[in-house]
Amino acid sequence: MNDPTAIYPGTFDPVTYGHIDVVRRAAAMFPRVTVLVARNPTKAPLFSAEERMAMVRGVFRSQRRVSVDCFDGLLVEYARAHNATVLVRGLRAVSDFEYEFQMALTNRKLARSIDTVFLVPDEKYTYLNSSIVREVARLGGDVSGFVPPAVRRRLQARVNKKGDRT
C-alpha cells in the first residue's frame, strides 16, 4: 500500500483534546490524515458543519499532513472517492468497542479494500467526549482542560448567545 490516506470521521461538536490526540497519533502512522466532519441529519449539533470544520482547521493549521473535509453520506463512498484505504476510530473505553466493532465490520462488508484502525487516546482523555464538553459549557463550567483556547471561546460564545443553561 503506497502512501495510504487515513480518514478520521466524526461529528467534532466541538473538537476536543481527545480528538486532537487521536489525529496526532494517526498522523504519526500515516502520511495523510483527513479529519472528516460529519453532517448527520439525526443529530442536532451545536455548531454548523462549517463552524466545526473551521475549529478543526484552526487546531491543525500548522500540520500540513492533516486536512479537513465534510461529508453527509456513506463513509466508505467518501473513502473510495478520495482513494483512502484506512478509517481511524478512537476507542476511549470498552463501552465504545461494541459499536465501533459493529461499524468496522459493516464498513468492511461494504468496502473490503478499506480497513479500520482503532487508536486509543492518552489515558487522560479517556473520559472525554463532545457531549460532556457541551454540557459543562452549558452549565457554566470551565472547559479549558477539554478543548483548545480558540474552541473554548467559540463554545462559550455559543452557549452564552443561546442564553439557555438548562
**Positions marked catalytic:** 19, 43, 92, 130
Write the CB contacts of 47 (distance below 8 Å, at least 6 apart in sequence).
13, 14, 55, 154, 158
Sheet with strand 66-71: strands edge to edge: 66-71, 32-38, 5-10, 84-90, 115-119
Q: Cis link prior to 14 (omega < 30° from 0)?
A: yes
Strand partners, 54: none
Write the CB contacts of 77 (distance below 8 Å, at least 6 apart in sequence).
none
